[in-house]
Structure 1
Amino acid sequence: MMWLNFIGPLMAALALITSAMVKGYDNIPPRPNILPSPYDTGRAMPLSLPRDKGRYCYVDQGLEENRDDAPRIWQSLQECNDGGTIVFDKSYLIGSPLDLTFLKHVDLVITGDIAFDDSDVYYWQNNSFKYTFQNQSVFWKLGGEDVNIYGDLTLEESKSVIDGKGEAYWEAVRNDTALLRPILFALDGMKGATMSNLRMRNPPNWFNIIANSSDIIISNMDLRAESLKGTKIANSDGWDTYKSNRVAIQDSFINNTDDCVSFKPNSTNVVVQNLQCVGSHGISIGSIGQYPNETDIVENLYIYNISMANASDFARIKVWPGIETDFETHLAGGGGTGYVRNVTYDLLHNINNDRAITITQCYGQSNETLCNEYPANLTIEDVTMKNIYGTTSAKLDPEAGTLVCSAPDRCSDIRVENITVTVPSGKSPVYECRNMDDSLLQLTCIEESGEDRDTSQG
């Protein structure tokens, strides 16, 4: 009996190993060894445990035209969770929401492609996972502990792809501004994770949200929102952090139409470094202070070595005013409390952006008189923007930025150092400055501006 008890597990193990060999697990790219560099988040990231080399789950692909691969994905993750590796090596279509917040000690390897069914945009409006913050929602959410998600960017362009098929949503929202569009990817409730070497394409809304999470590294990602029909792309933030601590986002490329990275409420100890951003709204703190009776904290950020081209803004802080008012469909704001503290923007290459620096406490509100009457309840302090170079666009020439606080006691210790940004006309660049300590600003301030206020959500 002891011999038989030994043979049974042995044969099962051999079958599993044989199956893995037939599937070709030797061709799976090795897990990247990713560390925050050159700056970290203030504490070492947790160690990711080795995976069991005998546990490989290959996700099956449905063959029917109107298939939904979500149940197959869920089943594979259940089978190989807690020590295994799940391989996405085919083309998958997800047609129903996936709650994958149970992950533990597992790797997800995407060498194929994953897309979301765009045949009915209103299905996802009604069935996606919802966030109260800015009425956001997501197709799927991944959470848990010790998770590595990665692909292989050396493969052809159609591989290692997560595709939101956003064009259908961008077209629909032109006629229905109330349409709720899902975020492409969500890490929610994740503790200790890496995501790397993946292509992301055409999100209906933002590309990524990192929510309620800690100890996250994002690296070597390629994000592109590109319309094939000339449709105006709605939102498409690259990464948004929300209620998260110790996050590093680095060594990546993004071409989009909204914030390259945005630090939403209660983002702390975040490093963003070595990014190339095109067509965005900047590396943005906020928007924050949107909800009355809520306290938003954004603290301990380091933004380093960023190239930003053809954007509306670059280094940006956006705070709502001190009173709540309606703004647009699904969006009202103002009256929240809190603070922005200990933030550094360092080594910023500005290429044809409208503004190199933007600080506003009148975000989402075109009525400047109202903002002056009700200054923001949220303070900004201990901010340094340094080593900024390049040129702005001609849109606001000779103005190169705005630094405007809503009252003298709302901003303190805001410094701008070693800024050599030029404007196309060759004139001396100027900046609108109000309620600032001008002695800390190594730039030329003016008091008033004819700027076009950017009030878009993001």
Structure 2
Amino acid sequence: MVAPTLLGGLLAAALVPFTHAAAGGRPDIKAAPFHPGRAFPASAPRTKTCAVKAGTNGSDDSAAILQAFHSCNNGGTVVLDKTYTICNPLDLTFLNAVDVALTGTVNFCDDIDHWLPRTFKYTFQISSSMWKFGGKDVNIYGNGVGTLNGNGQKWWDRFASNATLERPILFVTDDSLAHSLIYSHPPLMNSHPPHLESQERPLKKASKQWFNLIANSTDVLISDINIKVGSTSSNPAKNTDGWDTYRSDGIVIQNSVINNGDDCVSFKPNSTNIVVQNLVCNGSHGISVGSLGQYIGTFDVVENLYVYNTSMSNASDGARIKVWPGMDTPFQPNLSGGGGSGYVKNVTYDTFHNDNNDNAITIDQCYGQKNQTICNQYPVSFSRQSNMTISDIYFRNFDGTVSSKNDPRVGSLVCSSPSSMALITSQKCVNINASKINVKAPSGKNPQWLCVNLDTGDQELEISS
């Protein structure tokens, strides 16, 4: 499979290194080596500059930041080169032809009770945000020093005793159309990724929940980002996804380092024509399709994904596909679902290095439900049929050694309904392909794979030790 072809497109997002461009200029970032099938549009030169003056003693800078975006919209550059504090929500989805030079630090007030009634709300998985970016022809970049600091510690500590606490996402791209929004280059990373040229990249840290949500957007390019999270108390940082895509098309995420505690990248419902390449992920739950099929009456599509050149370490999973069963399943206090429909189609994971991951490859077509009998029953029930199908999946060129957790098992591919069941009206897991898989168990025993209800189409799973 070559890089997928896009269906259409409009915005691009990327935080990009100043060091790759002429001093003071917008960096020139390309999607490479793969792209979604068309070039991202070029932006015209900007003709005015709005430098935001920071308040003193951590006072709220949100009004000054908003004014700068209004003043420099339609052809200007907003400069955020100081230390700023945001204590009130910022809706920046009106942007057109604007650059953002984020070379300072943006902090968010950590007053939980102040924020809870003020955040922007999203119905999907009860999520919210403190600020959101959107519009047309937007470029956001730094020079290796720009930082977004979510100040998540108080939120993680309260979440430990209140599992339904609504924690905001650090950065949301919402309703972005036509052109490129480029995040880039904050700095600092202790581990130098072997296949990336530079260790210097922009920093996002201490998000309260997901770090990034790309929603309702098209043509978004993200490059050279450093994400890191770590709790200073006994309460872990939960649900700290690196990127989540939702109802978006034509996205590229590349050349970044992610140290977190949940999905490195997660393709949520209606994510299409996406390239993820050259990522170093540590401590995550993998690069994941899903979860999908969570809501009854909705139709979820994830199609045409190409994940290339990934280094995944100390994760629960490497390459992962997760789909809810055909019945309501209470999984966590703030996460339940099942019974939705849709499909996953044409997904490729190519060149994937595993280091101490529990599973190199995971397909879970009954996410949140551990009873395989129930999983077999509900996806094919005439009364509550789930049409959540998985097809045309390709795993290629996997290597490395998994953790000792499941030794000698190195992966799990479990589909929901056996092909021999008489009630089946359509196959649920079709044409699953694995080739050049050379993943080892730490004990040195022959690697074992758990494969249940798997249809490999016309091909055999080629798994070597």
**8 Å Cα contact 2:58/2:84 also seen in 1:** no
**Aligned equivalents of 1:424, 1:327: Cα separation in 2:** 31
1:257-305, Cα deviation, whole Å (9 max, x unpaired) = 0000000000000000000000000000000010011000000000000
Q: CA RMSD in A?
A: 1.6
Q: Letter of the aligned partner of 1:122 in structure 2?
A: D
Matches within 5 A, 1:335-354: 335-354=339-358
SS state at 2:433 partner = strand
Aligned partner of 2:50 among 52, 57, 63: 57
Aligned partner of 1:178 among 155, 161, 164: 164
2:262 corresponds to: 258
1:425 corresponds to: 443
**Aligned equivalents of 2:335, 2:104: Cα separation in 1:** 37
- Residue 361 to residue 429, structure 1, CA distance change in 2 (3 Å): same
Aligned partner of 2:173 among 179, 187, 199: 187
**8 Å Cα contact 1:293/1:337 also seen in 2:** yes
**8 Å Cα contact 1:430/1:444 also seen in 2:** no
1:414 corresponds to: 432
Matches within 5 A, 1:381-420: 381-407=391-417, 408=419, 409-420=427-438
**Aligned equivalents of 1:33, 1:331: Cα separation in 2:** 40
Tell me the CA shift for residue 231 of structure 1.
Answer: 3.0
Q: Across the two proteins, how many residue pairs are aligned to each other? A: 411
Q: What 5-or-longer segments of structure 1 have no aligned partner?
A: 1-25, 154-158, 446-458
1:341-364, Cα deviation, whole Å (9 max, x unpaired) = 111000000011000000011102
1:12-43, Cα deviation, whole Å (9 max, x unpaired) = xxxxxxxxxxxxxx996421111110000112
Matches within 5 A, 1:113-152: 113-118=105-110, 120-152=111-143
Tell me the CA shift for residue 377 of structure 1.
Answer: 2.5
**Aligned equivalents of 1:331, 1:256: Cα separation in 2:** 20
**8 Å Cα contact 1:220/1:252 also seen in 2:** yes
1:17 corresponds to: none
Matches within 5 A, 1:30-429: 30-52=25-47, 55-63=48-56, 65=57, 67-118=59-110, 120-153=111-144, 159-191=145-177, 192=179, 193-197=181-185, 198-375=202-379, 376-407=386-417, 408=419, 409-429=427-447
Q: What 5-or-longer segments of structure 2 have no aligned partner?
A: 1-20, 186-201, 380-385, 420-426
1:100-155, Cα deviation, whole Å (9 max, x unpaired) = 0000000000111001000x2132222111111100111100000000001111xx
SS state at 1:374 partner = helix
Tell me whether 144-153 or 65-74 shows the greater mean CA deviation. Answer: 65-74
- Residue 319 to residue 149, structure 1, CA distance change in 2 (3 Å): same
**8 Å Cα contact 1:124/1:181 also seen in 2:** no
1:374-410, Cα deviation, whole Å (9 max, x unpaired) = 1252000111000000000001000001101101310
**Aligned equivalents of 1:216, 1:100: Cα separation in 2:** 16
1:451 corresponds to: none
**Aligned equivalents of 1:442, 1:42: Cα separation in 2:** 29
- Residue 252 to residue 443, structure 1, CA distance change in 2 (3 Å): same
SS state at 1:75 partner = helix
**Aligned equivalents of 2:221, 2:252: Cα separation in 1:** 5
- Residue 28 to residue 115, structure 1, CA distance change in 2 (3 Å): farther
1:12 corresponds to: none
Aligned partner of 1:436 among 454, 458, 461: 454
Tell me whether 286-295 or 228-237 shows the greater mean CA deviation. Answer: 228-237
SS state at 2:163 partner = coil
Q: Letter of the aligned partner of 2:106 in structure 1?
A: I
SS state at 1:353 partner = coil
Q: Letter of the aligned partner of 2:340 in structure 1?
A: G
Tell me the CA shift for residue 368 of structure 1.
Answer: 3.3
Tell me the CA shift for residue 369 of structure 1.
Answer: 3.0
SS state at 1:182 partner = coil
Q: Letter of the aligned partner of 2:168 in structure 1?
A: P
**Aligned equivalents of 2:231, 2:388: Cα separation in 1:** 37
1:213-241, Cα deviation, whole Å (9 max, x unpaired) = 00100000110011233431111100000
**8 Å Cα contact 2:329/2:368 also seen in 1:** no
Q: Letter of the aligned partner of 2:355 in structure 1?
A: I
2:10 corresponds to: none
2:382 corresponds to: none
**Aligned equivalents of 2:176, 2:238: Cα separation in 1:** 27
- Residue 444 to residue 291, structure 1, CA distance change in 2 (3 Å): farther
2:15 corresponds to: none
**8 Å Cα contact 2:203/2:226 also seen in 1:** yes
**Aligned equivalents of 1:234, 1:262: Cα separation in 2:** 15
1:455 corresponds to: none
Identity of aligned residues (%): 51
Runs of 4+ in 1 over 4 A off after TM superposition: none
**Aligned equivalents of 2:362, 2:284: Cα separation in 1:** 14
TM-score (norm 2): 0.86
**Aligned equivalents of 1:444, 1:412: Cα separation in 2:** 22
Indicate the structure (1 or 2) with the bigger Cα radius of gyration. 1
1:141-195, Cα deviation, whole Å (9 max, x unpaired) = 0000000001111xxxxx3100001111111100111110000000001122221
Q: Letter of the aligned partner of 1:405 in structure 2?
A: C
Greater share of residues in helix:
1
